[in-house]
Structure 1
Amino acid sequence: MDESLNNQNNQQEPMPASEVEPAAPKLSLWQQLVKVFSDPVNFFNHLRSNPTWLFPFLLIVLMSIVFTAATKDQMLEYRKQLILDSDKMTEEMKDMALEQLENMTPTAYYIQSVVGSVIGSAIVFAIAAGLFLLTGNFFLGGKATFKQMFALYVWGNIVSLVEMPVKMILILQKNSAEVYTSLALLMDPQQSDTVLFKLLNAVDIFTIWKIILWSIGFGIIYRFSAKKSYLTVISLYVIYVLISVGLGRLFV
């Protein structure tokens, strides 16, 4: 009897402190903003148990509004040039599209840009988070929630807070929307409609930064190895680039 009780007590003994996974420290919103840049491992350990996304999403939208307002003239000119260069549109379609741009008031432009940024970003983020979740849970056998993946994708895009000001300055200096921070700099901008140019443009310094953050977070949330998480995220990005370039050749 005593031996049986001793066995039960031994079975109920708690794990040694060294074997218990420590809880991630609680971070304030501003601490999260700093940590995602300065200490992403610590940050994503926090995000794993506290998958918040509204704060970074609002910051990204706010920066998008500033970017849109500052580069309005250059972006409108770029859109006009895309219409003129398109070989998928008839001359009548081009005239109608150009007329719409010419008649667009500044207020309409800002409303369209802001609403498009909010709705477009939400849709893109949700789709990307869904792909992360599908890949991690179904194909790789991990376990995470959509909220965790959505938060991961939004926080990875926090790099946009650096990317947009840099590109905004370049656009204003050059007075053109055609600025690049990618390997596309190795090619003539006149070749921007070629497949090679688009593939090189996908290798962008800010995109690489985002991929690093997504990979770190993906591995921490799923408890995957660094090699496995980097390979997964990079593979998904390569597939996305190939599909987008292919569709671009069909419809643009």
Structure 2
Amino acid sequence: MQETSRTVEALPRAVGWIDILTVFVDPERAFHRVLKQGTWFPAYPVSALLATGVAAWMMQNSMSVFEQALAQAATAQAEQMRAFMFTMTKVAPIIGGILGPLIAGALMALVYGALGLFIGSSGPSGSFRSYFTLACFARLPQVVAQALGVGGMILFHLQTPLIFSPVVLFPNLAPQSLAYSLLSTLDVFMIWSIILATVGLAVIHGRKVREVVAAGVVLYLVSLSLSVSLSLIAAAFSV
């Protein structure tokens, strides 16, 4: 009896780790478990660890290119810049890896909460913790995309990470162009994240997934508008 009690008490702590994998194959089942218990933590360290690794490699790669540019500049200013970049390659990935997923999760939790006001609920309304948990788990496909992108970059000796959107079919498109921004929002892993978020919102509010499809459409339109806005800003500064 005592052993059974210990197993039951330990189960909630293990559920979040198990559902990091389950969310990819049976998201509704995974969200029913993790959202009920608010177990956001397992998804966060996975995101933070991968984000830190990806950022560290990208910064190191940038540092090697930067070193080549400074190779012929033996000035004191060049040495100061080299020291600054060296420090950034050590500090920036850690800070970005730890704070990045937290900030992104908090912002998306607010977006999900706003959508929840329009979805309505057949039971208790969602809490910030449940929305934050959803944000952490729904973001996992994009974390995988980052890892695959850099992995492909290393494996195939590319100059930039692999892209998982139709942009790859148009290599001559300028990154700051409107067409590039529109096509980049068709990223397979980003759409996967939106689908997971839609399923999670349905679970939180006790709805069927088809009843909250509009929320998924809104999430895609938000991503689209952000992408287009950034491209317009980039185009303005490139003039």
* Range class of TM-score, shorter chain: 0.7 to 0.9
RMSD between superposed Cα atoms in Å: 2.8
How many residues align? The count is: 210
Which residue of 41, 56, 75 maps to 2:28?
41
Is 2:105–2:135's contact at 8 Å kept on the other side of the alignment? yes
Is 2:34–2:40's contact at 8 Å kept on the other side of the alignment? no
| 1:126-205 matched pairs, under 5 angstroms | 126-136=106-116, 138-142=117-121, 143-172=125-154, 173-177=156-160, 179-205=162-188
SS in 2 for 1:177: coil
Q: Deviations over 1:145-195 (max 9, x none)?
A: 111111001011122442222101222223312531101112124422210
Query: Per the alignment, do residues 58 and 177 of structure 1 end up closer, same or farther by CA in structure 2, a change over 3 Å counting?
Result: same
Which residue of 207, 213, 220 maps to 2:196?
213
Quick one: distance in 2 between partners of 1:189 and 1:74? 23
Report the alpha carbon displacement of residue 112 of structure 1 after superposing the two structures with TM.
1.5
Which residue of 179, 199, 209 maps to 1:226?
209
Is 1:74–1:177's contact at 8 Å kept on the other side of the alignment? no
Is 2:165–2:185's contact at 8 Å kept on the other side of the alignment? yes
| 1:39-188 matched pairs, under 5 angstroms | 39-75=26-62, 102-136=82-116, 138-142=117-121, 143-172=125-154, 173-177=156-160, 179-188=162-171
Report the alpha carbon displacement of residue 209 of structure 1 after superposing the two structures with TM.
1.4
* Structure 1 counterpart of 2:71: none
Report the alpha carbon displacement of residue 249 of structure 1 after superposing the two structures with TM.
1.3
Query: Per the alignment, do residues 103 and 56 of structure 1 end up closer, same or farther by CA in structure 2, a change over 3 Å counting?
Result: same
Is there any run of 5+ residues in structure 1 with no aligned partner, and where? Answer: 1-24, 80-97
Report the alpha carbon displacement of residue 103 of structure 1 after superposing the two structures with TM.
4.4
SS in 2 for 1:126: helix
Quick one: distance in 2 between partners of 1:100 and 1:231? 52
TM score, norm. by length of structure 1: 0.73
* Structure 2 counterpart of 1:236: 219
Query: Which is higher, the Rg of structure 1 or of structure 2?
Result: 1
Is 1:48–1:221's contact at 8 Å kept on the other side of the alignment? yes
* Structure 2 counterpart of 1:21: none
